[in-house]
Amino acid sequence: MSNWYHDGLFVFVILIIAIAIPYVQKFKLNQMLPNINTSNTDSVLLIIAHPDDEIMFWTPTIKAFLSNNITLKILCLSNGNYNGLGELREEEFDNVSSDLNLFDNKILNIPELQDNITMEWEPNIVAEQINDFLRRNTDIKTIITFDKNGVTKHPNHISCYKGLMFYLNQNKDECLERNIKVYTLDSFNFIFQYTWFLPMLSTFFKKYAFLSNNFFTSYKLMSLYKTQFNLLRKAHTIFSSYSYFNSYNKVDY
């Protein structure tokens, strides 16, 4: 009887959490995107370094936005040509974008922003690309990207953050006039990233956070990146906390 009681209680708690997730997501969206109006063309910009970053690290956020009719645009600063597969990865990026019904995404392939695991990009070059994208997309009201640690400390991830900070510093008045909000994705250390249960619970208490209630979404989407879907990335999409929740800090500029 005691075992039945505890098993039933556990199932009840899991069901309550699953039912609560959409309401928690909506509440947190209202906090994170107070200036986004879903009835018009206001949108969010996600800045990433490589095709597949959006799935490896941002699936919960993407799901939360799309399920609440938030328009999302992705600026990918390189085509991931480190192993000479840039053209194929561009195609895969387009396929994933189509699968998500995101049609305003842009992937770059310029000499100054090439996939490089040992070198950061020049902040002013990154800022130029951000500036160009924002001038072409005046509907953007919110920007999200990596934080200063870039999740994995990949120099290109960190360059997204530094380039955006450079842009904000150079265009502060314009961004304030447009009332653009900026958020950076929390980087977790290795232990927290792969022992995700306790950090995941913390998202209920963090102001800006999203929790996924479909544990197979990241794996399914990552499988569309056929050139990258090796054992390491399969393990990442199954065990990484970023497949299940995202949390953010707001940037005051």
Segment 126-152, tens digit of pLDDT: 999 999 999 999 999 999 999 999 999
* Average pLDDT of span 228-246: 91
* Average pLDDT of span 98-109: 94
Region of poorest pLDDT, from 6-20, 168-182, 221-235: 6-20
pLDDT at site 34 = 72
Q: Which residues pair with 143 in a beta bridge?
A: 45, 182
pLDDT at site 25 = 65
User: With 80 as the cut, is the pLDDT of residue 66 above it?
Assistant: yes
Q: Are 167 and 130 in contact (CB under 8 A)?
A: yes
Structural domains of the chain ordered from first start: 42-250 (3.40.50.10320)
Segment 154-201, tens digit of pLDDT: 999 999 999 999 999 999 999 999 999 999 999 988 888 887 666 666
- How would residue 67 be classed by pLDDT, with cut points 50, 70 and 90? confident
C-alpha gyration radius of the chain: 18
Which segments of 108-154 does DSSP mark as H helices, in order? 123-136, 150-153
User: With 70 as the cut, is the pLDDT of residue 21 above it?
Assistant: no
What is the percent of the chain with per-residue pLDDT over 90, rounded to a whole number? 66
* Average pLDDT of span 210-239: 89
Of 52, 56, 28, which Cα lies nearest the Cα of 247?
A: 28
Q: Which two tokens stand for residue 147?
A: 């934080």
What distance in Å separates the CA atoms of residue 240 and residue 17, rounded to the nearest whole number? Answer: 20
